[in-house]
Amino acid sequence: MEIVFPLHPRTRKMISKYNLGRYIERGKGILAADAVGYLDCLQLESRAKLIMTDSGGLQEESCILGVPCITLRENTERPETLEVGSNTLIGKEYHKLIDYVGRSLRKGNNWKNPYGDGRTAKRIVGIIQNDGGSTKCVE
């Protein structure tokens, strides 16, 4: 399994500062890539088998896309991802990371999306169209 590691410029700077580049060489199964834009990031996420992150946004997106997530933090502002089982917090238990990866890959993606079914805009348009113009905007 190849690991794609999009590097934020600050992360790349710290890797260089602490001489950690040898751990992310291409030959070791890790592709260190430049930071990617939002749409490219979504495409990478949608093709992933697993996402490891410290980003709240990626926790949410992985849940919606049906990709298991491991969050490398002590807490999350996305507790709904924990409740539905799409996300696992590992805190400082980095020594258990391989175990968490195996568990996350085995459990699959049979959670219910807590963010809805993706049809909210269509419903809103339907309500507006069927309303006949009687809805007033609140200022």
pLDDT at 108: 83
**pLDDT above 70: residue 26:** no
pLDDT at 24: 76
pLDDT at 117: 87
Mean pLDDT of 8-22: 90
pLDDT at 64: 96
Q: Which CATH number covers residue 68?
A: 3.40.50.2000
**pTM, two decimal places:** 0.81
User: Does the residue 61 lie in any domain?
Assistant: yes
Half-sphere exposure of 90 (CA within 13 A, CB side): 20
CA distance 44 to 139: 41
Phi, psi (rounded to 5 degrees) for 87: -130, 145
Half-sphere exposure of 76 (CA within 13 A, CB side): 24
**pLDDT above 90: residue 114:** yes
pLDDT at 81: 97
> Binning pLDDT at 50, 70 and 90, where does residue 139 land?
low
Domain coverage including residue 105: 36-131
**pLDDT above 90: residue 32:** no
Q: What is the pLDDT of residues 48-99, one digit of tens each?
A: 999 999 999 999 999 999 999 999 999 999 999 999 999 999 998 888 899 9
- Count of domains observed in the chain: 1
User: Does the residue 101 lie in any domain?
Assistant: yes
User: Does the residue 52 lie in any domain?
Assistant: yes
Computed over every residue of the chain, the mean pLDDT equals 89
Count the neighbouring beta carbons within 10 Å of the beta carbon of residue 15. Answer: 17
Retrieve residue 82's tokens. 């924990």
Retrieve residue 114's tokens. 């807590």
**pLDDT above 70: residue 132:** no
User: Does the residue 49 lie in any domain?
Assistant: yes
User: Does the residue 8 lie in any domain?
Assistant: no
User: Does the residue 117 lie in any domain?
Assistant: yes
pLDDT at 107: 87
